Amino acid sequence: MKIIGIIPARFASTRFPGKPLAELRGKKILQWVVEGARTSLLLSEIHVATDDQRIFDFCQSIGASAIMTSTDCVTGTDRICEATRHLDFDYVINIQGDEPLVNKDYIDPLAKAFVENQSLEMVTLAHPFEAEDLNNMNAVKVITNQNDEAIYFSRFPIPFSREGFVPGIVQKHIGLYGYSRKFLQTFCTTPQTQIEKFESLEQLRALYLGARIKVISVSKPTYGVDTPEDLQKLEALLK
């Protein structure tokens, strides 16, 4: 069994252009992610997938493998699919390029899930939800069934309750994923679905296709950087 890690990184972010090369305490965000990915004990290879020469050149400067992809990739998963076209692997972990504090504590539970159950199509992470995030559209919510498989993801408060927020039913999604090679191909040869476009959540394409997405709970959140304000908050946190 061969499990690899791919870090999709694009320069032209709408909310934060040039985000992967923004500095966080003296290092580029992308370098934090690469170094965190290298702490994994289960990944055979790690590659950055990008459509920008500046990011490609930076990867070379820090000794990280990079693969150029087209600018037409709609989602990070589509970019991973293109980048892995000629790679040898059984499973791939999608390590978001804007999660500077990611490390083996988040990556290896995904990889281990495939080691323990090779029939899995897709896995992802979640952690306990805080009430103040209920109406935060950047905080993606996930509810699961009795087998810890995703029922639905949303940016909106789910499930609806007349009693208000009920702890323990909903979790906050962490945007790291693992895919089997076969399911990755199925996902990326399927056009974007309406539900995916409405919520702007690519994992809803997988649910639309009938995939069983295993959701692994971790105790601590990661700290994604979506905006310059997020970067300032993380800078303050690390101090």
In a domain, 237, yes or no: no
Q: What per-residue confidence (pLDDT) applies to 126? A: 97
Q: What per-residue confidence (pLDDT) applies to 231? A: 93
Domain hosting 21: range is 3-227
Number of Cβ atoms within 10 Å of the Cβ of 145: 10
Q: What per-residue confidence (pLDDT) applies to 130? A: 86
Q: What per-residue confidence (pLDDT) applies to 164? A: 76
Question: Which position has the token pair 């370098």?
Answer: 31
Percent of the chain beyond pLDDT 90? 81
pLDDT at 224 over 90: no
Torsion of CA 108, 43, 86, 185, to 10 degrees: -10
Q: CA nearest 175: which of 93, 96, 57, 92?
A: 96
Q: What per-residue confidence (pLDDT) applies to 51? A: 94
pLDDT at 162 over 80: yes
**Burial group, residue 202, by CB count within 10 angstroms (0-12, 13-18, 19+):** buried
In a domain, 236, yes or no: no
In a domain, 180, yes or no: yes
Question: Which position has the token pair 């504090």?
Answer: 101
Q: What per-residue confidence (pLDDT) applies to 104? A: 97
In a domain, 232, yes or no: no
Q: How far is CA 112 from the centre of its chain?
A: 16
- CATH code: domain of residue 214: 3.90.550.10
Sequence-distant (6+) residues with CB within 8 A of 219 are 127, 128
* pLDDT tens, position by position, 33-81: 999 999 999 999 999 999 999 999 999 999 999 999 998 888 899 999 9
Residue by residue, DSSP assigns 190-207 as SPPPHHHHHHT-THHHHH
Question: Which position has the token pair 């055979």?
Answer: 44
Number of Cβ atoms within 10 Å of the Cβ of 150: 24
In a domain, 76, yes or no: yes
In a domain, 235, yes or no: no
In a domain, 70, yes or no: yes
Q: What per-residue confidence (pLDDT) applies to 174? A: 95
The confidence band for 152, taking pLDDT boundaries of 50, 70 and 90, is: very high
Number of separate domains in the chain: 1
- What residues form DSSP beta bridges with 46? 5
Helix (H, G, I), strand (E, B) or coil at 137: coil
Residue 223: phi and psi, rounded to 5, are -125, 90
In a domain, 233, yes or no: no
Q: Taking the model in full, what pTM does it have?
A: 0.94
pLDDT at 15 over 90: no
